[in-house]
Chains A and B, each alone.
Chain A
Amino acid sequence: MNQTHRILCIGVLVRFLLPTLFPSIPFKLSTVVELATPINSYTSLQEAFFYLQHSINPYDGGVNHHPPLLVAFFGLFKSQLPDSVFLTACNLLYSVVDVIIALRLASLNRWYNARVSKKTGEPVAPLSDALMVSFYLFNPLIILTNLSHCTLVFSQLFIIESLHQLTSNTNLARAMVSLGIATYLSGSPVLMVVPVLALAYVSLPKHKWENVYIQGTVVFFMTCGLLVFISAIWTSSVAFLDQCYGVIIRFDKIQPNVGLWWYFFTEMFDFFTPFYIGVFNLFSMIFIVPLTIRFFEYEDKDPKKASVKTGDAFLAVYLCYVWMSFLKSYPTVGDFGLAISLAPIFAATVLPYCKLVYITALTLLVCLILSPIFYYCWIVLGNGNSNFFYSINLVWGGVHILVLIDFTWGQLIREYCQEHDISPEQRHVIRLTQL
C-alpha cells in the first residue's frame, strides 16, 4: 500500500464516515447557499423522490431541476432500498466519485507534464501522484461540496473523465460521450466542447482535423440527443427540458448564490430582465473561443520553427473551465474548488511565472470567510442587505479574474522565453511588459 493509496483511504473515510455517522450533514450542508443551488442541491433531489413516490411528475411545480435520468437512477435505488441503506449507499457513491476524479487528475497530471517535456525538449518534473490526489481530496471546498451531496460532483466527474479519455486513452468517442453526459447533467459544460475539441486535435496520435472536429461534434450531440430522447420517453413529456436547461438560461429560479447573475434579476426592474439574460448568456460564452484560439497548438511542417513550441491546449481547457465557473448562472464554491485542485498540474510549467498567487490566495480566503458572514447579516440578523452578500460575490468573481489574468500572463511569458530560447537562469530575472 503506497502513499497514494493511503491518501485515497483517508479521503474516502472522511467522505463516507462523516455523513454515515451524522446523517444530517448532507441535508444541512445542502441548504448552504455557497455549497448548493436549487438546480443541483441534494434537497431538491429529495423533493423529486417525493414526487416520484406519489406518482406526480417531478417536473411539475418547479422544485426539481435535476435531469430525469439522474432522478431515475437515484429513484431506482431509493425505491428498492430501505432508507438507511439508501443514505449509506449514497455516501459510498459520492466517495467513490471523488476517488475516481482524484485518480483521473493524477493521470492528467502525468500526461500533461510528460507531453510538455516531449514538446519543449526540456524535462519538467510533475508533482507526485500522492500530492495531486491529496490536493483534490483534501481541498476543503471539494470536501464540503461532496459532503453536501451536490449533484455538481457527477458533472465534474464526467468533465474530468472526458479529458482523461482524450489524453491517456486517446479515445475521441468516449471523451465526447463523457462530455455529452456532463452537459446533460448540468447544462453549462456545453461550453467546454470548443477547448476539448482543440485538445483532441493535438492529443490524438493520427488524425485529420475534419475527422476530429466533425466526429467529435457529432458524437457529442448524438449523446446529448440520445439522453434527452430517453428522458423524454421516461417522463413522456419534454417539460424537463425547460425545467433543467431553460432555468439555467433564463435564470428563473431567483435565489442568491456565489455567482454574478442573481443580483441583477432580484434588484432590477422586470423589464430589464430580457436584456440581462441576453448579456449574461452572451458573456458566459464570449471568451471560450478566443482563449482556445490563443493557446491553440498549431502544427508546423518545419519542426525547427519556434512557434511549434508555443500554445497549450490543456491550459486553454483549464482557463475555459475557470471562465465557465466565473459566469455560470448557478455556480457553487465547488466549481472553483475543482479549478484550484487542477492548478497544481501546471506547477512546473505556468505556475512559476505567475506573480499573483499569494494575492489570489489571500483574496480567496477572505472571500470564503466573509461570504457566509455577510449572508448571515442579510438573512438572519437583518442589519445587512443583499449588497453585502453581492459585494463578496463580486470579489469571488475577482478571484476568478485574478486566476485568468495570472495564468494567461504566465503562459505568455513562458511562450516568449521558449520562442527566444532564453536560458532557465535568465527566465526569472527577465521582466516583460505589455505595451
Chain B
Amino acid sequence: MALAETILRAVHKHDLVPKLTRALPWISLLFSFASVIWLLMLPIDGNYRKSYISENALMPGQVTSYFRESEWNIVRGYRNELKIFEGAAIDERNAVVEGWLKDIGLKTAYHRLHDPSVQDNMYAILHAARGDDTEAMVLSVPWTTSDGEYNLGGASLAVALARYFNRMSIWSKNIIIVFSEDGHKSLRSWVEAYHTSLDTTAGSIEAAIVLEYGGDSDYFEYYEMHYEGLNGQLPNLDLLNTANLVSYHENIHISIQQTEGEKLTRNDYLTRLKTFLKGIVSLTLAGIVTPSNGCESFSGWQIQAFTIKVKGTSGGNDITQIGRVVDETFRSVNNLLEKFHQSFFFYLMLGPRYFVSIGTYLPSAALIAASFALSSLSCMLNSGFTIPHFLLNISSVLKFFVMIELSSFLLSTFLPYLVKQTTDESDKISLVNLILLSMTSLVNINSKFAFSMISFSLFFIAMVIVALLILNFSLALCIGLLAMPLQFVQQLLNSIEAKIKVFLCLFVSNPFFVVYITGGLYLEAFGYQNGTLNLMTGLLTSWDDVQCWTWFIVMLGWFPAWLSIAISCGLGDFKNQAPVSYIKKNQ
C-alpha cells in the first residue's frame, strides 16, 4: 500500500495524468505493436518448448508393432479389390467393405442420412476383449481425401488393420472404423449422430485418427499432420506427441502446417515462424474452408483427433509404416486409464517437436485487447467531453448499439438462410457480398455521430477479444489485428484532409473486405480454387454443416462495432466540436 501511495504521489507531483492522457493514442499503438512483436518473438530459441509426453500412462513407442511386411500382402489384396470400385457409388463400396469387415468378425452398422446431398456412412465396431465397453477409439476413413483423390490406400489399410486388430487380445477400448463420404459434413453428422441418435455404439470416444492415403502407391515420402479443431479447439498435445514419437521411430518425416521439401527437417527461425503463423490462420479458418481435413469433425465431444494425410508416391517409407503408426498410437491410447486430462489443450505448434504454451502466447492477444481498451479510453478522454457527459450519453449509445447489434443478428441469420434456399450458390453469394460491401460504403454518406459511439465500439471489440482469449485464441488475435485500423479513426477525424485516411481505415478493417482479401490472396496462394467464394460459402454454411460459430462471432462481435464506427464517422459533424486536446495542440 505504501509503495502504491508513493507512486501515486509521484504521479501527481509530476502532473503525469494529463500527459499520459494525451499520450494515450500512442500508448495504445505501442500496445498493438508490442502484441505483434511478442508474436514474432515466440519462435526465437528459449521462448518455445520442446514437446514431451506429459501423461506417463501413454508410454509411446514402447511396444513392437507386428503390422509388418506379412500384412503388406493383405493390404495389397484389399487394395486390388477396392481399385475396381474407384468409379462406383459409395453405397457399393460400403457394401463390399462391410462384407469383409463382417467376415473378419466385426459388427457393422449404417448411419442413414435422410439428406440427398450426403451419402450414408458405414461403420464397424471391434468390441474390446478386455474392456468394459465404455470407451472407444476411432479410425476414420473418408472415401474422398481432402485433395479430392480416391482414398484407396487409406481404405485398404483400414480393413487390413481391422483384421490385424481383431487377432490381438490386448484391447481394453473398443475400436470403431468409420467410412464416410468425406471428412466434412458427412463425418460431422456421423459424430453427432453417434452421440445422439445411433443405436449401435461403443462408448465414449477417446481419440480419433482420420486416415487419408490417396492412390495405389506402396510408398510415400512423408505425411502431413492436421489437428485444428472447430471454434479454436485443439486435441490434447499428448496424442499428437505420441504419434510424432512413433513416426520418429519409424523414421517418417512429419509436416506440420503443410511445410514441404527440405523445410521438413530444417529448424530455423523462419520455418518455425511460418509454421506458427500459418497454424494461427488455419486454426481460425478450420471448419470454414473446404475441403476440410476431417479431424475438426470430432470437435466438441471431448474427442482428441488428428488427420494423417500421406504425401508423395515415391520415397523410403511404405504403407505398412502408416499402419504401424496407427497401431502404436492406438496401443498408447489403449493404455490410458483416465481421459486425456493434462493441461495440454492450449498450444501452438512451431514444428513437429516444438510448441508454444498458452502462458507464453496469451499475452499477445491480451495486449491487443488492452490496446483497444486504451484506445477507447483515449477516445473518451481526448475528445474534449467529460466523463459525466459520456455517462449521460450512455443510454442513447446503448440503444443505438443494441439496434445495430439486432440488425447484424438478423443479417447473420438471414444470409445463411438465403444461401440454403438457392440452387446456384455462387451467384447469390457474390451478390450478397457485393450488397454488403456496397451497403457498408453507402452508410458513409449522411447524418451525425459522436465520439462516445466510437469509444463504446472500441471497448466492445476489447471485450469480444477478452471473451475469446481462452476459447479461441487465434480468432481473438486475428480479429484484434485486422480490426486495429479502427483505432486510428478517432485521431484522424478532426481534419478534413484526413477523410480519405478515415475511409481507408474503415475499408481495410471491414470484415467482408478481410474475407475478400484472405480468400483471394491467402487461400489461392495455397492452392484453393475460388478462394473468396470458398471462404464466404464456408462462413455462411459452417454453422449448419459443422456447428462452427465463427460467422456469428464475426457478425455479432466485429461487424456491429465496425458498423457503428463507420456510421459515427459518416454522420458525425466534427468541424464544430474539434477535440479540445487537438485545439490546444494547434494553438
Contacts and interface: CB of A to CB of B under 8 A. Distances in A.
A381 B467 contact: no
A277 to B, nearest CB: 28
B470 A382 contact: no
A384 B470 CA distance: 9
Contact of B302 (A366, A373, A374, A381): A381
A365 B463 contact: yes
A191 interface: no
Contact of B466 (A370, A377, A380): A370
Nearest to B12: A431
A214 B211 CA distance: 79
21 contacts: A365-B463, A369-B463, A369-B466, A370-B467, A370-B470, A373-B467, A374-B470, A377-B471, A380-B300, A381-B300, A381-B302, A383-B234, A383-B345, A383-B346, A384-B470, A388-B470, A431-B9, A431-B12, A433-B5, A434-B1, A434-B5
Interface string B343-386: 10110000000000000000000000000000000000000000
Nearest to A435: B2
A169 interface: no
B233 A383 contact: yes
Contacts, number: 37
A198 B471 CA distance: 48
Interface string B423-466: 00000000000000000000000000000000000000001001
A385 interface: yes
The 8 closest A-B pairs by CB, nearest first: A383-B345, A382-B302, A369-B467, A433-B5, A373-B471, A366-B466, A373-B467, A369-B463
Contact of B343 (A373, A374, A385): A385
Interface in B228-277: 233-234
A377 B470 contact: yes
A123 B5 CA distance: 32
Interface string A340-368: 00000000000000000000000001100
Given A369-B463, A370-B466, A431-B12, A382 B471 contact: no
B102 interface: no
- How many A residues touch the partner, as a band? 10 to 19
B339 interface: yes
A358 to B, nearest CB: 9
Nearest to A383: B345
A383 B467 CA distance: 16
Contacts of B463: 365-366, 369
A414 to B, nearest CB: 19
A384 B463 CA distance: 20
Interface string A153-167: 000000000000000
A220 B578 CA distance: 62
Interface string B464-499: 001100110000000000000000000000000000
A104 B302 CA distance: 49
Interface string A241-255: 000000000000000
B470 A373 contact: yes
A105 B329 CA distance: 64
A383 B470 CA distance: 10
A212 to B, nearest CB: 37
A395 B47 CA distance: 29
Contacts of A382: 302, 339
Interface in A380-414: 380-385, 388
Nearest to B301: A382
Contacts of A431: 9, 12
Given A373-B470, A373-B471, 17 more contacts: A366-B463, A369-B466, A370-B467, A376-B471, A377-B471, A380-B300, A381-B300, A382-B339, A383-B233, A383-B234, A383-B345, A385-B341, A385-B343, A388-B470, A433-B5, A433-B9, A434-B5
A380 B547 CA distance: 15
